[in-house]
Structure 1
Amino acid sequence: MKLLNRLLSVIFISRFGQVLVFLVVSSNEKAIYPFFCQLFIPVYYAAPACFYLYATGFIAGRTRLQKFEWFHFVPFFLAIVHVLPWSFSPAVKWDAIVAQILENKQLFITEQSGLFPSWFYYLGRPFLLLAYLVATWVTVLKSKVIDEKVSADGKKWIYFFLRTATFFQLTSFFPLVIWNSEEPLFNALFILFNCVALLAIVIFVMHQPKLFYGYLFVAVDMEDNETVVGDDREEVKKLAKPVVSAKKLNLMPDQLSAYSDLMKSFMENKKPYLQPNFQIVDLANEINIPVHQCSFVINNFLKRNFRDWINSYRIDFFIKEYPLKSNRMTIEAVAYESGFKSLTTFYNAFKKETGLMPKAFFSQK
């Protein structure tokens, strides 16, 4: 989804900013390092909130921020005010700031870097990191939604994301241990430790590609902003690509029929369509069939693309549930309960399946 991609990009930009500032300072580019230092300070204050909102939004399957969630970005706007070149702002001692950055203490710069006092940075930023880190873990561990609506691969991804981010955030506090140390060996060991940890994570991910497939590397369908991945992305967009035959996939007619029955049985018995983030890669993983074969069976044997096929189950569920709950729930609430991410997707799918809008459909009934 666009929302999650944007939140995740802020987290990456914040980490990139830390590295870039360190490199600029290390290269002794005195003319430009104040610009980059000030440029990334607001991003540093936005990243912890984005970390929390990404994790909670991923679990809940939200496509947009709720109104009260915009208050999480108050520190971001205060940071913008902090770095603006006000005429009454005190002079910044950039030489002292550079010395602390070179000591790898970006998180604990004790010199005043803008309008607000120095504590705004060296106390405010660590507090935000720890507060949002704890809040995210508490929310995720206590959430019942994650067991009901998030697929197995989705759980692996969100816990991998949390553990990795937690590791790198906590290592930011390592300079506190060596605050009064003048031994350069400590800084070298700290950098080496981070590099080894990053290498270990990369090697782990290479052996677990599904952690990224569908969650980090995704394509967005422009019609309804739903996430579409893999082969199904090309089906939805109807790219001009030759159709793969069953012969090339080594699928016999009996095997096609068996795969089709297996998919239908899984959908009817397990009801994975109630999970808003359920994707074709999750289906393939659950029934132990390659993704491209799942896509082929749905397109050529069931004569639909994956999105329309799974939405048909959601519409059937909605049609059965709404009459039972209409006295206490709205159409929109039952639509979300049926697994739809957005109302636009729901109404389009309902019209496509029944030829009518929901109110007209039930009035005829």
Structure 2
Amino acid sequence: MSCIPCVSITPEYQIIYYDNLLNKSLLISSDIAVILSFSGFLLGSVIVLILISVNPKFTYANFLLAVCVFSFAYLMFVSGLIASGLILKVPHFFRTASPFIYIIAPAAYLYVRTVLDEEVKFSFFDLLHFTPAIFHFVELTPFFLKSAETKINILEIIFIDPDYSLALQEGFLPQKWHSFLKTIIGLIYFSFQFYIIRQYTKKNHILDSYQEKIIQWLDWFTLMLISCYSLLLVSLFTNNESYSIHHLLTVVIASTLLIILIYLFLQPQILYGLADFSESENLANEILSQTTDNRNLSLSADQISDYRYRIEKYLETKKPYLDSSFRMQDMVEDTCIQRHHLSATINTVYQMNFNGLINKYRVNYIKKNIHAKKWSNLSLEGIGMEAGFKSRSTFLQSFKKETGMTPSVFREINPQP
């Protein structure tokens, strides 16, 4: 491992440095890079908070997407510090984003794979994908422990000669090697992402509207990453020493992150899981009906028997649960049972709430028709949507609760007659 020199700025270097600062186009590109970098960091931080805290259904997929976005956002934060010159005030942030770049690609790939394969928990082998990031962090640790003065000296030289950054060797490998490795590894991962998405659509050529939205998002996510990393690879082969090129690359990366994040905000079903909000509304209305009217506690046996007959006849003949937008209010209007009486009857007779009863009927419907010809070309997720489930997670949880197994296992042990 080579030593990092502690170099002072000579008058000649200072002249070049101030000439660069006076270059109008350079100042403009620097300003744009700073604005986009910090914007990407702020918006990325909001997305991460939503994924890990605001979103009520925190899943393994959410975790992986949060890791990918955080790594991207932190890279933009440090890039913004460098482009603005603020890094000289906080030099210990220098190079801290480098290991995170190794995290972006595997996290993105695992996220896509998890969404498509419906994985629900972390696997030990998944950790192997992050080995390069761990190795890079370990080799940079001695540099992280160096003094602020040493890092400031290095940064001042980099501001004059940006290519000096790639020539440095703070660890076992020069930074230029790491730049190539990060980009090549990223493109390999993103190519596999694209491949498994295409395989999924080929296998499930009939997709419902929810699946189409998911595939559209994954396609957009993957293609944006491929485009960004392809431009980075081209820049590494150009060997252009212009400082504006480095600002341009920062703009490209920040723009990629912002486009991905804005797309997420425009797809609340992916970001917030709004597909289940109607179920939350049903539950809220049911709780309200129970807590605001005590008359539901004084139903006679004859009333309960009558209401049960109406409920079961309605659900078995009309099958309203197949409509994903079906609500408690719909049943109230169709059966002419008051809301608080309906809620009390369901709780008393079936020992569950409205959502539980409706999902039970949906699961039973799937069990009876899982080998139906009209469903032969649908994935298990598609079958769930056909039965009225709005989200994959609710479908899987409800099915396992009723049968003690996943839909795929149920179909395997119950072959078509």
Which band: TM-score by shorter chain? 0.5 to 0.7
The reply on whether 1:230 has 2:277 as its aligned counterpart is yes
Question: Could you tell me how far 1:48 is from its partner in structure 2?
Answer: 0.6
Cα displacement (A) at 1:120: 5.2
The answer as to 2:80 corresponding to 1:16 is: no
Separation of aligned partners in 2, 1:308 and 1:45: 47
Deviation string 1:44-87 (CA, Å, 9 cap, x unpaired) is: 21211111111111112221234433321222322232232389
List alignment gaps of at least 5 residues for structure 1. 220-227, 244-256, 268-282, 285-292, 323-334, 352-357
- Contact 1:48-1:132 within 8 A present in 2 as well: yes
2:103 paired residue among 46, 51, 76: 46
Q: Pick the aligned partner of 1:165 from 218, 225, 231.
A: 225
The alignment's C-alpha RMSD in Å is 4.9
**Correspondences of 1:170-209 after superposition (within 5 Å):** 170-173=230-233, 175-176=235-236, 179-182=239-242, 184=244, 209=266
Instruction: Give matches, 1:1-365, under 5 Å.
Output: 1-25=58-82, 26-35=84-93, 37-38=95-96, 40-85=97-142, 95-96=153-154, 109-118=166-175, 121-143=178-200, 144-147=202-205, 151-173=211-233, 175-176=235-236, 179-182=239-242, 184=244, 209=266, 212-218=267-273, 229-236=276-283, 267=322, 294-295=326-327, 300=332, 309-310=358-359, 312-318=361-367, 346-350=399-403
What per-residue deviation string (whole Å, max 9, x for no partner) do you get for residues 143-174 of structure 1?
24554676222222222322333333334345
Deviation at residue 234 of structure 1 after TM alignment? 4.2
Please give the per-residue CA displacement for 1:105-124, whole angstroms capped at 9, x wherever unaligned. Answer: 89x83422335454652232
Q: Which runs of 5+ in 2 are unaligned?
A: 1-57, 291-313, 336-341, 343-352, 372-379, 385-391, 405-409
Separation in 1, partners of 2:192, 2:247: 32
Q: Distance in 2 between matches of 1:199 and 1:127?
A: 22
Aligned AA (2:240): N
Are the structure 2 counterparts of residues 195 and 103 from structure 1 closer, same or farther at C-alpha, using a change threshold of 3 Å? farther
Asked if the contact 2:61/2:115 (under 8 Å) is kept, the reply is yes
Aligned letter for 1:233?
S
- Using the size of structure 1 for normalisation, the TM-score is 0.58
Change (3 A) 1:15 1:195: closer
Q: Do the aligned partners of residues 344 and 192 (structure 1) sit closer, same or farther apart at CA in structure 2, a change above 3 Å counting?
A: closer
CA distance in 1, matches of 2:156, 2:276: 44
Match of 1:276 in 2: none
Residue type at the aligned position of 1:317? I
Structure showing the higher helix proportion among its residues: 2
User: Which whole-Å CA distance do the structure 1 matches of 2:369 and 2:155 have between them?
Assistant: 64
Answer yes or no: is the 8 Å Cα contact 2:143–2:170 preserved in 1.
no
Distance 1:98 1:237 in 2: 60
Q: Which residue of 2 aligns with 1:274?
A: none
Instruction: Quote the sequence identity (%).
Output: 15
- d(CA) in 2 for partners of 1:170, 1:133: 11
- What are the superposed Cα offsets for residues 224-264 of structure 1, whole Å, 9 maximum, x if unpaired? xxxx6333234457796689xxxxxxxxxxxxx9xx95865
Structure 1 residues 16 and 196, CA gap change in structure 2 (3 angstroms)? closer
1:4, 1:57 within 8 Å by CA — same for their partners in 2?
Answer: yes
**Aligned residue-pair number:** 285
With over 3 angstroms needed to count, the CA separation of the structure-2 counterparts of 1:309 and 1:84, relative to structure 1, is farther
